[in-house]
Structure 1
Amino acid sequence: MQTITLQKSQTDKQTAVQITGSKSESNRLLLLKALYPELELDNISNSDDSNLMTKALVSTSDVIDIHHAGTAMRFLTAFFAVQDGREVVLTGSKRMKERPIKILVEALQHLGADIQYVENDGFPPIKIKGKKLSKHEVSLKANVSSQYISALLLIASKLENGLELTLEGDITSVPYVKMTLGLLEEIGVSTKFEGNVISVKPNARALTPQKLVVESDWSSASYYFSIVAISDLGTQVTLSSYKLDSLQGDSALVEIYKHFGVETTFGDNTITLKKVSDNKTTKTFNLVNAPDIAQTIAVTCFALGIACDLTGLHTLKIKETDRLVALKTEIEKLGGKVTITDKSLHLEASKEINELVSIATYNDHRMAMAFAPLALKVPIVIEDAQVVSKSYPTFWDDLEAIGFKIAQ
């Protein structure tokens, strides 16, 4: 496991970074391409998760190990359920075997799927015997991971009668659901989202051949929003490739980081982030639609000595690690004071940051990347630094390119 030291650093005043395609969009489109081979994809994410997804979709093995890739586990569960005549066991890492999948499995079983648990009820590994599914109505609690919902929507057009999915209660991570529906519409699949009911029409025909370009990952951009927020006035970073009408929920960064004095300007497939003011007031954000940027925001606030209240975080407990506990543990090692519930985080304002603290990353790529911008304030140590390959393999190279000093 590679541990690196980020020496106290300063970014270049003006710099540019090319970021790989969105992991979220890539994994959805990779599954759709497996269902509709006439699609052509460009700017696919080079993340571990997308590489694992690609390999799993072309594998002929009867045991498929997706390691830590939670998105792949959920999407592939649905995919293999409709592969008539194919039998596979889906498994993963020790942590993956602790991440629940029962809600999705029960929904698929309700539609007629043949899925059994191999070890523990409700958790991977699972044995799937693919078959044609003719039932088309199912209900799901709306406050579960949006990946369960998206997994069902992605295979819906291949069900004999399509899908009518009723969501019960308040919907979690609506932008991720809308991303899935937007991609389905883009390739020519008919969908409807009214109230709490989502309908997808069946489609047995081949689609019109088309090339789809994946937008770069907004979650990965979040670390540059943090860097600019923590940097001196006038610092700017240009990132590509991004668009104003993004399908990604984390594009909420543009509005959120205005509160930190970061101005975002859209150019031709680019965004330029510039620090235009200082704002040290307490920050309050409901991140129910963008939980993946919670770690970035918490660390930004800590670096600036700002208090914050973050809510809408109930899905963080079932990520690569329990991200709320992990954030509390690591920020408190640095000298901060954090209070958490099962769905919120409160950070008190603090003036001091402990130097050369070794940050544990818990097999979680976002822990490594979210804490990296602290090197603008103090030297910091990141354990298991290569964990960033899960979503952003060139992260450390890109940080060095904009001025960060990194020692192995």
Structure 2
Amino acid sequence: MNLLLQTTHSNLKAQIPVTGSKSETNRLLLLQALFPNITLANTSNSDDSEVMQKALNADLSSRETRDLNIHHAGTAMRFLTAYFATQEGREVVLTGSQRMTERPIKVLVDALKQLGAQITYEKQEGFPPIRIKGQKITSNKVSIPANVSSQYISALLLIAPKLDNGIELTLVGEITSVPYIKMTLALLNDLDIQTSFEGNIIKVFPKQEVETKEMVVESDWSSASYFFSLVALSETASITLTSYKENSLQGDSALVEIYKKMGVISNFENNTLSLSKVPNFKPEILNLDLNNTPDIAQTIVVTCLGLGIGCHLTGLHTLKIKETDRLEALRVELTKLGATISVTNDSLTLQPSYTINHNVKIATYNDHRMAMSFAPLALKVPIIIENADVVSKSYPDFWEDMKSLGFFIS
């Protein structure tokens, strides 16, 4: 499905309910599988979370090996690898889309094997599909490179309380995406599971049972990023998003400070986040290290193009192993729009530019964030988003919410 986006005005006003964070939801779904007396509210309605839930609920009562298809859901692949490694007597093969079979899993598999897990590769060494024979795991000391996807680290931390001896995890090298690790630890702490994170060593202590509790998922900050972009590119705006809190567990809440540099004012009141535009704001070139928040890089660079300013973004090495190689995808698509952009293995540099090409077709590469990050440019020029239904991976209601802001979508 290709969509043409355009608008006749750039004065935005709406109240938009955003569903729960995909990151929090998937962590809590795994914890709920380990501790069934937890209940969850405001969970994400994303494809990724549905895939995760379906896999956790799969009937594994028979002796036969079950094949579980995770499609494009990278978080689910990593979390479920750790989960099924601990499920005694169960055997599963985790597979996914063509792109998923190109996304590395070796770092996590090696760490789980250090703990005594039984995991083998069905095809290519280091990549899905993988065969997992669930084991009772008693070892508790494990080390993992610290500059890899934080999801590998979180996967180990989430299963830790149910292991007889918990986990003592040593992170080797410079740590990436610390907020996501801290989110995982905070969710464990909310269940009165004891943890510590000192220097490069994380400990999670064993806890076989937790108190019955409802866990309410905060709305997704990555999804909020597109509204920050829309406000920055608007003439005037008043957009209210629910349900958000000022002291969020989500690293992408850094949007508040980043977009302040692009003229966006954020106000929190009664679990809502209101965004408005500073009149006649003149932004300057942005220099940002996004090591802790790589998922908002696409939104930021597209906003900069729309504002006519340059940016230099670093800390982006994990973007090369996402749904697509996001750095290369950005280079190709922004160049179509007339931008001058260069990328390395971990950075991106955009030159200031004052014209944007009209009616350009933006390829999305099966990547939800490519579709949504480019959409706000419709405030500046008509734009065509290819394979637009890819947004269902994290934000199924995105195009309806764009319509509520007055965009024409055909």
TM-score (norm 1): 0.98
Tell me by how many angstroms 1:15 deviates.
Answer: 1.6
1:118 aligns with 2:117: no
- Other-structure match for 1:364: 367
Q: In 2, Cα distance between the equivalents of 1:13 and 1:362? A: 29
1:201-240 per-residue CA deviation (whole Å, 9 max, x = no partner) reads 0112x211000110000000000000000001x4121101
Tell me by how many angstroms 1:181 deviates.
Answer: 0.2
Matches within 5 A, 1:185-200: 185-200=189-204
The amino acid that maps onto 1:75 is F
Structure 1 SS opposite 2:261: helix
The amino acid that maps onto 1:255 is E
Q: In 2, Cα distance between the equivalents of 1:54 and 1:286? A: 34
1:215 aligns with 2:214: no
Structure 1 SS opposite 2:162: coil
- Other-structure match for 1:53: 52
The amino acid that maps onto 2:25 is S
Structure 2 SS opposite 1:235: strand
Q: In 1, Cα distance between the equivalents of 2:266 and 2:89? A: 50
Structure 1 SS opposite 2:266: strand
- Other-structure match for 2:329: 326
Which one of 336, 341, 361 corresponds to residue 339 of structure 2? Answer: 336
1:282 aligns with 2:285: yes
Structure 1 SS opposite 2:206: coil
RMSD: 0.8
Is the contact between residue 87 and residue 127 of structure 1 (CA under 8 Å) also seen in structure 2?
yes
Shift of the 13–357 alpha-carbon distance from structure 1 to 2, 3 Å rule, reads closer
1:294 aligns with 2:293: no
Which one of 76, 83, 90 corresponds to residue 80 of structure 2? Answer: 76
Tell me by how many angstroms 1:170 deviates.
Answer: 1.1
Identity %: 62
Q: Which moved more, 1:304-313 or 1:4-13?
A: 4-13
Matches within 5 A, 1:93-108: 93-108=97-112
Structure 2 SS opposite 1:346: strand
Which one of 179, 182, 196 corresponds to residue 178 of structure 1? Answer: 182
Structure 2 SS opposite 1:260: coil
Which one of 121, 127, 130 corresponds to residue 131 of structure 2? Answer: 127
Tell me by how many angstroms 1:10 deviates.
Answer: 2.9
Tell me by how many angstroms 1:281 deviates.
Answer: 1.2
- Other-structure match for 2:95: 91
Shift of the 141–264 alpha-carbon distance from structure 1 to 2, 3 Å rule, reads same
The amino acid that maps onto 1:330 is E
1:258-291 per-residue CA deviation (whole Å, 9 max, x = no partner) reads 0001010001000111111412311111100000
Q: In 1, Cα distance between the equivalents of 2:372 and 2:13? A: 21
Q: In 1, Cα distance between the equivalents of 2:50 and 2:124? A: 27
Stretches (4+) displaced over 4 A = none
Shift of the 202–9 alpha-carbon distance from structure 1 to 2, 3 Å rule, reads farther
The amino acid that maps onto 1:203 is K
Runs of 5+ unmatched residues, structure 2: 61-65
- Other-structure match for 2:391: 388
The amino acid that maps onto 2:29 is L
Q: In 1, Cα distance between the equivalents of 2:10 and 2:213? A: 40
1:163 aligns with 2:162: no
The amino acid that maps onto 1:153 is L
Q: In 1, Cα distance between the equivalents of 2:12 and 2:186? A: 37
1:66-122 per-residue CA deviation (whole Å, 9 max, x = no partner) reads 000000000000000000100000000000000000000000000000000000000
The amino acid that maps onto 2:207 is N
Q: In 1, Cα distance between the equivalents of 2:9 and 2:155? A: 42
Q: In 1, Cα distance between the equivalents of 2:276 and 2:215? A: 30
Tell me by how many angstroms 1:14 deviates.
Answer: 2.7
Q: In 2, Cα distance between the equivalents of 1:9 and 1:214? A: 36
Is the contact between residue 9 and residue 375 of structure 1 (CA under 8 Å) also seen in structure 2?
no
The amino acid that maps onto 1:258 is K
Alignment length (residue pairs):
404
Is the contact between residue 9 and residue 377 of structure 1 (CA under 8 Å) also seen in structure 2?
no
Tell me by how many angstroms 1:245 deviates.
Answer: 1.1
Runs of 5+ unmatched residues, structure 1: none
The amino acid that maps onto 1:142 is A
Which one of 258, 261, 266 corresponds to residue 259 of structure 1? Answer: 261
1:22-54 per-residue CA deviation (whole Å, 9 max, x = no partner) reads 000000000000000000000000000000000
- Other-structure match for 1:250: 252
Shift of the 9–214 alpha-carbon distance from structure 1 to 2, 3 Å rule, reads farther
The amino acid that maps onto 2:287 is T
Structure 2 SS opposite 1:228: helix
The amino acid that maps onto 1:58 is N
- Other-structure match for 1:26: 25
- Other-structure match for 1:153: 157
Q: In 2, Cα distance between the equivalents of 1:395 and 1:44? A: 16
TM-score (norm 2): 0.98
The amino acid that maps onto 2:17 is Q
Is the contact between residue 259 and residue 279 of structure 1 (CA under 8 Å) also seen in structure 2?
no
The amino acid that maps onto 1:112 is G
Tell me by how many angstroms 1:11 deviates.
Answer: 4.6
Q: In 2, Cα distance between the equivalents of 1:104 and 1:402? A: 42
Q: In 2, Cα distance between the equivalents of 1:329 and 1:181? A: 38
Is the contact between residue 263 and residue 283 of structure 2 (CA under 8 Å) also seen in structure 1?
no
